[in-house]
Amino acid sequence: MSAPSSGGASRDGYGAALLEMLEDDKVVVIEADLGKSTKSCLFRSQKPSHTVSLGIAEQNMMLVSAGLASSGYIPFASTFAIFTERGFEQVRNGIARPNLAVHLCGSHGGIHTGTDGSSAQSIEDLGIYRTLPNMAVLHPCDDVSTKALTLALKDHDSPSYTRTVRNKTSRIYTEEEASNLRIGQFSYLKEGNHVAILACGVMVQEALSAHSILEEMGIKSTIIDVHTIKPLDVSSLYDIACMTCAIVTAEDHNVIGGLGSAVAEALVGLDFSRRIPVEMVGVQDKFGQSGQPSELMSHYNLTKEDIIEAVQRVLKRK
């Protein structure tokens, strides 16, 4: 794994992937007024014939997408993560229940959104969509991996929800490395046998930063990019749990329903020779507030220091 470098926002990767699908006439892009913010506007500017702009009508966007999918098209529909929730009933009954391959993208997810405040910071979206049968749930960590995974969705025959973020983050992957990512498979960034840190989205960089400090402390950590929350890579989770016997999860999401919950639920169903303690770094069942992203991440205990403290706690529980 290459060293992290400066990059764009994961929403930029979504827009870049749509541009690479311009030649496929089955691909249709659906917008609900926020194409500039989600970056679907890049596709629209090049191929307006295959773009449907519906205005502020998210529920309608979901059902239009369902109709297009049932007619043989591959719709990519996007808005802010918080606004996708307006159309949850339509996603449930019109997309997930009939198992139509509609690919939703919720931009501006999580506390990391910053100054827009709690009304715009979706800290429950991953949990909401994870409850739906047939639905894949993705949260990539950088622009490069977002592009690669979005391109992979074109051949994914079930519905999906991908969360992207507004602000620029470190680039974790090279284009070559990202081409090896697979939906539903963990991505190993670092390997160590003392503890496993499973992170998604913007918390992957925090986990990598924590890894370097932990190494200086003599603690060897495995760092996993869990870009796919559902389906969770349970086979790899079992191997990691057996190797380290201690797990920390890190997410910019409510600890209820998100990555930490998914990992804990999976571990309960697996057979181990000893107890596997889990510590969850995430939003502790609170709404967000307005502030700079770095300030909010610190306030909600979503930093590398918080991951290190969680590692120290979980090691005491081994």
Which residues are identified as catalytic?
58
Neighbours of 48 (CB within 10 A): 11
> Element (H or E) spanning 128, and its range?
helix 125-130
95 secondary structure, DSSP code: I
Specify burial of residue 14 (Cβ count, 10 A radius: 0-12, 13-18, 19+): buried
Contacts for 159 with CB less than 8 Å, ≥ 6 apart: 91, 95, 96, 99, 100, 101, 102, 103, 104, 132, 134, 135, 136
What does the H/E/C string look like for 151-204?
A: HHHCCCCCCEEEECCCCCCEECCCHHHHCCCCCCCCEEEECCCCEEEEECCCHH
Contact yes or no for 11/107 (Cβ under 8 A): yes
Contact yes or no for 113/9 (Cβ under 8 A): no
127 Cα distance to chain centroid: 11
Q: How far apart are CA 308 and CA 244, in angstroms?
A: 16
Q: How far apart are CA 316 and CA 318, in angstroms?
A: 6
